[in-house]
Amino acid sequence: MSEKKTPQLDELEKGQWPSFVTEIRKAAAKNPAAEDLLGLLERSYEEKKGHWKHGGIVGVKGYGGGVIGRYTDLPEEYPNLAEFHTIRLNQPSGWFYTTKSLRTICDIWEKYGSGLTNLHGSTGDIILLGTTTENIQPAFDEFSDAGFDLGGSGSDLRTPSCCVGPARCEHACYDTLDACHNITNEFQDELHRPMWPYKFKIKFSGCANDCTASIARSDCSIIGTWRDTLRIDQDAVKAYVQEGLDIQGAVCDKCPTRALKFDYKKNELNVIAEECTRCMHCINVMPKAIRPGQEKGATILLGGKSTIVQSAFMAWVIVPFMKMEDDYEELKDLLRRIWEWWDENGKTRERIGETIYRLGMGKFLREVGLPPVPQMVFRPRANPYVFWQQDEINK
């Protein structure tokens, strides 16, 4: 263990919370790169300056993603960090592991890397921090033999991720786990061989609670919904009233479209089906009384991202309802058309939301073959991006 003083890092071990510094110190007992990492991090905090550069190497033989080259700009002083590459492993759907598989990952990583991990990265991958160029291929070979594959990085399809879905949640309107697994397998080329203007993320959420935060954090978010109407159990509504729930205040008044009406005399709750936006608020407050409808599927949204060329975007609805069935062929076909359009029209380092923002939603919809529909706008004339074309006007 290092005898060097690290007063800045010591502060991060105080208090009641788990500390990443404590974990790096544990790794440093066995790994010189982790020990150098403590020194470099302390120095960065002192100088208020990062000492990392990244880029270059991206994968193993035949792969164009999954490895992120990282190097310190002070290799003479921290020789064990001269190469400190990150490996991303494709996580299982819903992040369900056996303890055996977690031990396998850790054992392989202690053999070839620093032993430091980050479960999970913001896209969802298993992040393995710190290995040398020489060790990348043998580490991958061993992970591959154990049943793991690399995730995405660079200008490719990033590793798709999903919520726990029907495995643990009664709200799931489709099988997010199966959809994520199926789409990941279908688009292996897109995941491993970067071919686009920039990254593209897909996240699957089983309902509008959106536990993967897909609407803000993915280029394509697939959010479970239903096409018919809410199912309301009036006996359960009465039970909530007896328990003292303020249904008018906590449910009806907070419905974003005022689609719920509570009858005080009968203690009954009714929904105006055509006004409901399926936001899940009422179901979250009264899960024993209100359920999603029976005709379930997903809403497809496009364009969410954080700030890059343009500011952060929330995703736009492009398909209000799609059945998630038949091996997801409708979704796959749509994704291919979207990628072809983006590949043709996108500039380098431009996310698809930015390409649409630059060229217009109308052009995107026409060229990808999607009809403009009312669900794409908040209310009439609230969003002017859909126009009549000259040949559509009856003069």
Partner 1 sequence: MEKGPASPEIKEKVLAYLATVEKAKSKEIAAAIGEKKADVDLAVKELAFEDKVEYLYITTTFVALKGKVGAPQ
Q: Where on the chain is the footprint of partner 1 (CB under 8 A)?
A: 53-59, 61-65, 68-69, 71, 153-156, 186, 189, 193-195, 197-198, 343-344, 348-349
Minimum CB distance to partner 1 smaller for 62 or for 384 = 62
CB of 55 to partner 1, least distance (A): 4
CA atoms of 12 and 42, how far apart (whole Å)? 11
Would you call 236 exposed, middle or buried from its count of C-beta atoms within 10 A (0-12, 13-18, 19+)? middle
CB of 354 to partner 1, least distance (A): 13
Distances (CA, A) of 285 to 110, 210, 248, 368: 46, 16, 12, 39
Minimum CB distance to partner 1 smaller for 89 or for 260 = 89
Q: State which amino acid sits at residue 52.
A: W
Check if the beta carbon of residue 72 is closer than 8 Å to that of residue 91: no
CB of 139 to partner 1, least distance (A): 18
Minimum CB distance to partner 1 smaller for 109 or for 198 = 198
CA atoms of 316 and 255, how far apart (whole Å)? 21
CB of 337 to partner 1, least distance (A): 13
Would you call 269 exposed, middle or buried from its count of C-beta atoms within 10 A (0-12, 13-18, 19+)? buried
Minimum CB distance to partner 1 smaller for 70 or for 171 = 70
Q: Would you state the torsion angle of the CA atoms of residues 125, 89, 65, 93, taken in this order, to the nearest 10 degrees?
A: -60
CB of 134 to partner 1, least distance (A): 13
Minimum CB distance to partner 1 smaller for 77 or for 295 = 77
User: Chain-centre distance of CA 352, in angstroms?
Assistant: 16
Minimum CB distance to partner 1 smaller for 263 or for 344 = 344
Check if the beta carbon of residue 337 is closer than 8 Å to that of residue 369: yes
CB of 379 to partner 1, least distance (A): 38
Longest dimension (CA), the chain: 84
Q: Pull the structure tokens for residue 277.
A: 């936006």
